[in-house]
Amino acid sequence: MATLAAACGGRDADGPAPIRFLHTFSPDETELVNAMMAEHGLAVEGALVPFARGQQVIHEILHAGTDCPDLIRIDATWLPGLATYLTAPPANLVALDWTPEGLALATVPSGMLGVPQTVDGLLVVRDAASPPPASASIDDLVTAARAARSEDRRHPLGVRVDGYWLVPWLRAEHADLAPDAIAGDGATNALRSFAALFGDVAAPPPPSGAETPDELRRWSSHDVAYWITGPWQLGALHDPERVAVTAIAGAPRGGQLLVVPTCAKQGARGWALAEELTSIAAETRVAQTFSTIPTRTEALAGAPPLSRAASEALRSAQMLPRWAVTPLLFDDLNPALAAVVAKDATPEEAIEGVRRGWARLTRGGK
């Protein structure tokens, strides 16, 4: 693992080795976490794994079992695929005041296999000057966006060409992000109606990889009135008085977990770090800085208004199907979706290719 930052808090010559922490924090988040750990005198050796390759890299490390971190921050969708390599948290952590949404993310049929660190998912960030949609349905959202269109704001709906953003459209057609849930016409219809947004009520997509800065630019320039995004973008908005948050029907809900592998050399210290990172003080400070959604009930109650509004918007959201292969489904879905948006493939052609890819991926079991 490549070291991202020097051990926080220092280490005495005769003291314990630093806690090895593998994570997917952004640079700004890493800076804040390092500062908090240093303030508490904790020696932590942080290492970054790129999110796009996170599940694969972490699985390889844990499968080898020879160079394991003491604590890992993972996406909640990775939990089923890594479950056999993880240890359950101690009773004192299990008993904390986790929110229902956070607890669900960290729980598998056998019980908790981690502790939730943040909750996220898709919601609608709305310009407060624009009226809320008549309901949370995607039809009413698109209708509201059309009503907000003008000569100066031709594409008032912000949405990303990504399979995660397609989920509300799939669910509106009684489909979902699962191989056995795209067999009918619903998935094709969802793909068609989603792709039709671009160049109409939504702007043509930017080059791949430029989505985040493009979205922030369009929000800052008031080109967007209704923006489908997640809590991960809220911290970058410097005009909170302009921001209103509402739910979108069929939204996926996810988040980040802190887990300890069975091969960790300092598992108990790994859990101690997880307890510190999910303390009321830590969660409150992170929420105040980035408008994230705390996973502790007390921290959520004292969080900034934008964090609480985002939490409320995600209460009706649903987790993605909890299969080990779920994160891998995007490898087929995302290029297929991009092809339809670019008019390089029809929805029928694209979804048929996705079905074949998902069938190969899931052959032999879920």
- Which domains does the chain show, CATH number per domain? 3-119+254-310 (3.40.190.10), 121-252+320-362 (3.40.190.10)
Structure confidence at residue 10 (pLDDT): 45
Per-residue tens of pLDDT for the chain, all 366 residues: 333 333 344 445 566 899 999 999 989 999 999 999 999 888 999 999 988 888 999 999 999 999 999 999 999 999 999 999 999 999 999 999 999 999 999 999 999 999 999 999 999 999 999 999 999 999 999 999 999 999 999 999 999 999 999 999 999 999 999 999 999 999 999 999 999 999 999 999 999 889 999 999 999 999 999 999 999 999 999 888 899 999 999 999 999 999 999 999 999 999 999 999 999 999 999 999 999 999 999 999 999 999 999 999 999 999 999 999 999 999 999 999 999 999 999 999 999 999 999 999 887 544
Report how far Cα 360 is from the mean position of its chain's Cα atoms.
Answer: 26
In one-letter notation, the amino acid at residue 155 is H
User: Cα(170)–Cα(175) distance, rounded to whole angstroms?
Assistant: 5
Scanning the structure block, which residue is given the tokens 């795209």? 182
Report how far Cα 300 is from the mean position of its chain's Cα atoms.
Answer: 18
Query: Half-sphere exposure of 342 toward its Cβ, with a 13 Å CA cutoff?
Result: 13
Structure confidence at residue 5 (pLDDT): 36
- Contact, 311 vs 300, CB < 8 A? yes
User: Cα(32)–Cα(236) distance, rounded to whole angstroms?
Assistant: 15
Positive or negative, the CA dihedral 247, 252, 253, 257 is negative
Positive or negative, the CA dihedral 21, 253, 196, 328 is positive
Structure confidence at residue 14 (pLDDT): 62
User: Cα(250)–Cα(164) distance, rounded to whole angstroms?
Assistant: 11
- Burial of 110: CB neighbours in 10 Å, binned 0-12, 13-18, 19+: exposed
